[in-house]
Amino acid sequence: MARHLITSAIPYINGVKHLGNLVGSQLPADLYARYLRARGHEVLFLCATDEHGTPAELAAAKAGKPVAEYCAEMWQVQSDLAEGFRLSFDHFGRSSSPQNHKLTQHFAKVLDKAGLIREVTEQQMYSVADGRFLPDRYIEGTCPNCGFESARGDQCDNCTKQLDPVDLIDPHSTISGSTDLEMRETKHLYLRQSAMKDQIEEWIDTRVGWPVLTTSIAKKWLTDGDGLQDRGITRDLDWGVPVQRGDEPWPGMEGKVFYVWFDAPIEYIACAQEWVDAGKGDDWARWWRTDKGAEDVRYTQFMGKDNVPFHTLSFPVTILGSGEPWKLVDYIKSFNYLNYDGGQFSTSRGRGVFMDQALEILPADYWRWWLLSNVPESSDSEFTWELFQTGVNKDLADVLGNFVSRVTKFCRSKFAEAVPAGGTPGEAEARLIADLSAKVAEYERHMEAIEIRKASSALRAAWVLGNEYLQEAAPWATIKEDPDKAAMQIRLALNLIRLYAILSAPFIPDAAAAMRAALNTDDAWPDDVASALQALPAGHAFAVPDNLFAKITDDQREDWQARFAGKRD
């Protein structure tokens, strides 16, 4: 079996994440990790909180807490919510960890030695009212490219164009709102990305089968204007990784920290070191160092499209520029945006449904299924309460939940809470096996290719086949004339529930676990459908599970629509 390294874009520490954040990186990464583990592959699935930079400082100031204390508290909140959504991280780390500090400073040292870092004396925005330089995300204004009125000083969240604060139209401080800004001289370090342009372009050309969204964004940044530009990697902030060359001071850089987008991707590697130091693993290097065994690893990253430039360009410049044998990403699965009810989800603006709120009103599986089956792969997608209600009720309650309930309750009432004996499968069963085999192969093919919406459609179609068989077989009528045949039909249907539990587990792990527990069975991935439908022999005891999925009522939907129509408290 192969070894798979999976990372999800690490979420900012500044508050609870919304459902758009969840479906844009962590949730599909978890789906893929769960599927690969189920198929017997060795998987290391890593994520962390992104704790440095202006979002952390601003959020801590708003909360009235020291930034270190705030980050520690919010790490726990995000960790608990990840567990609530059943995100199966092997380790959930922190970019503020000692491991990431040391590794970031190491990369800075080797990049400087390679001639890829230069010192620049430049003019930067200074807020007279705030009495400080304003790094990128302390400044907002109108994007000169698309006209978006809330563009930030490093990037426009609307069109993803990389910006400098001086590019913004009508800029203002996000701390005080002041427009009394002026340019003052300061000194910073720049990563010489331009020197790596040809090497980065050649490397991107070797990445096979990347999504069009990923490659188009990367190529655009390489070719637009003057191409790949040098990028500042230090900031005038108090909170972050201190600027050093390894363990040595960096003269002239006292009191500065590394830019969050320099140290945050390095946390992917540091997170594996944290995993080992936490006693969860024993060899991080075999996942990350190609001279230690990582050449056999397939590395897949998951992220929203706004993160693509940093992962296709800046982080590879760091890795390749170091000249050291680090593992580079093999495949980047990027996503468009999930919009909320005619607008955008927004953490900073408190718009939409947030992870804690979602779990307060419904179990994780409801959200996992709808979000993954509507994941914004080829284009932006839209969350509305009507679509959510319809998807949950039709797919989970009417198709899967109803099948499980009808089969187990019928068996209990007509036979016993054990798989019934008797009967011989016929043409209808042979057709079902053939149709299911084709659908399971389609499901596996799409999961291997990380085509999530297609995979969810194939899985739902497999559920539908069971319902169609049950309607055709009609064991409730057959039992009156041929009890043995009805027993065979129900025996097959009980085995079908087991198959559904195994196939569905990456999408809806809690419901799948409930099905397996009720059937008192294992979760081994089937070699083929025909054998899977004979796994539970006659006499095998089971229990009727509780209702797997309650339908969302119109009253509930209307209540939630009203509750989440405005800004988060």
pLDDT of residue 262: 96
- Give yes or no for a contact between 334 and 214, defined as CB atoms under 8 angstroms apart: yes
- Give yes or no for a contact between 326 and 288, defined as CB atoms under 8 angstroms apart: yes
pLDDT of residue 154: 83
Residues 265-294 have a mean pLDDT of: 98
Report how far residue 471's alpha carbon sits from residue 449's, in angstroms, rounded to the nearest whole number.
33
Instruction: Note whether residue 346 is domain-resident.
Output: yes
pLDDT of residue 164: 82
What distance, in Å, lies between the first and last C-alpha atoms of the chain?
48
Which CATH number covers residue 166?
2.170.220.10
Residues 399-406 have a mean pLDDT of: 98
Number of C-beta neighbours around residue 1 at 10 A: 9
Report how far residue 91's alpha carbon sits from residue 274's, in angstroms, rounded to the nearest whole number.
8
Q: How much of the chain exceeds pLDDT 90, in percent? A: 83
The pair of structure tokens assigned to 10 is 């690490």
Instruction: Note whether residue 308 is domain-resident.
Output: yes
**Phi/psi at 99 (5° precision):** -65, -40
**Per-residue pLDDT at 401 exceeds 90:** yes
Residue 47, beta-bridge partner list = 92
pLDDT of residue 409: 97
Instruction: Note whether residue 375 is domain-resident.
Output: no
| 448 plus 511 within the same structural domain | yes
Instruction: Note whether residue 370 is domain-resident.
Output: no
Instruction: Note whether residue 287 is domain-resident.
Output: yes
Instruction: Note whether residue 551 is domain-resident.
Output: no
Res. 158 pLDDT band, cuts 50 70 90: confident
pLDDT of residue 168: 92
Instruction: Note whether residue 398 is domain-resident.
Output: yes
**Per-residue pLDDT at 62 exceeds 90:** no
| 305 plus 164 within the same structural domain | no
Q: Which amino acid belongs to residue 266?
A: I
Report how far residue 537's alpha carbon sits from residue 258's, in angstroms, rounded to the nearest whole number.
62
Ligand-binding site membership of 143 (annotated) = yes
Residue labelled with tokens 């056999």? 296
Res. 133 pLDDT band, cuts 50 70 90: confident
Instruction: Note whether residue 390 is domain-resident.
Output: yes
| 38 plus 128 within the same structural domain | no
Residues 488-492 have a mean pLDDT of: 98
Residues 126-144 have a mean pLDDT of: 87
Please report the DSSP string for 109-125 in residue order: HHHHHTT-EEEEEEEEE
**Which range marks the domain in which residue 60 is found?**
3-104+260-359
Res. 290 pLDDT band, cuts 50 70 90: very high
The pair of structure tokens assigned to 469 is 């068989």
Ligand-binding site membership of 411 (annotated) = no
**Per-residue pLDDT at 161 exceeds 90:** no
With CA atoms as reference, report the closest residue to 307 among 339, 332, 270.
332
| 162 plus 269 within the same structural domain | no
Query: How far, CA to CA in Å, does 286 sit from each of 5, 115, 296, 518, 527?
Result: 10, 28, 9, 39, 30
Residue that is last in its domain, among 359, 394, 412:
359
Ligand-binding site membership of 271 (annotated) = no
| 346 plus 393 within the same structural domain | no
Segment 308-365, tens digit of pLDDT = 999 999 999 999 999 999 999 999 999 999 999 888 877 666 678 999 999 999 999 9
Helix (H) or strand (E) holding 42: strand 42-49
| 298 plus 339 within the same structural domain | yes
**Per-residue pLDDT at 305 exceeds 90:** yes
Residues 255-273 have a mean pLDDT of: 96
Segment 223-238, tens digit of pLDDT = 876 678 999 999 988 8
| 351 plus 419 within the same structural domain | no
How many separate domains does the chain show? Answer: 3
Segment 403-429, tens digit of pLDDT = 999 999 999 999 999 999 999 999 999
Of 34-43, 131-140, 212-221, the one with minimum mean pLDDT is: 131-140
Residues 71-96 have a mean pLDDT of: 98
Residues 176-185 have a mean pLDDT of: 90
The pair of structure tokens assigned to 355 is 């992870």
**Per-residue pLDDT at 389 exceeds 60:** yes
Report how far residue 5's alpha carbon sits from residue 406's, in angstroms, rounded to the nearest whole number.
41
Segment 93-116, tens digit of pLDDT = 999 999 999 999 999 999 999 999
Residue that is last in its domain, among 359, 390, 411:
359
Greater confidence (126 vs 473) lies with 473
Q: Provide the mean pLDDT of the chain.
A: 94
Which CATH number covers residue 278?
3.40.50.620
| 406 plus 342 within the same structural domain | no
**Per-residue pLDDT at 484 exceeds 80:** yes
pLDDT of residue 281: 96
**Per-residue pLDDT at 444 exceeds 90:** yes
Residues 266-291 have a mean pLDDT of: 98
Q: Is 533 helix (H, G, I), strand (E, B) or coil?
A: coil
| 493 plus 406 within the same structural domain | yes
The pair of structure tokens assigned to 332 is 């980047």
| 326 plus 225 within the same structural domain | no
Of 241-245, 315-319, 342-346, 369-373, the one with minimum mean pLDDT is: 342-346
- Give yes or no for a contact between 46 and 7, defined as CB atoms under 8 angstroms apart: yes
pLDDT of residue 322: 98
Q: How much of the chain exceeds pLDDT 70, in percent? A: 98
Segment 555-564, tens digit of pLDDT = 999 999 888 8
User: pTM of the predicted model, to two decimals?
Assistant: 0.92
**Phi/psi at 371 (5° precision):** -65, -45
pLDDT of residue 348: 61
Q: Which runs of consecutive H residues, i.e. helices, occur in 415-553?
A: 427-448, 452-473, 475-481, 483-504, 509-519, 529-532
What one-character DSSP code corresponds to residue 550? P
| 400 plus 437 within the same structural domain | yes
Residues 283-306 have a mean pLDDT of: 97
Res. 566 pLDDT band, cuts 50 70 90: low
Number of C-beta neighbours around residue 420 at 10 A: 21
| 413 plus 527 within the same structural domain | yes
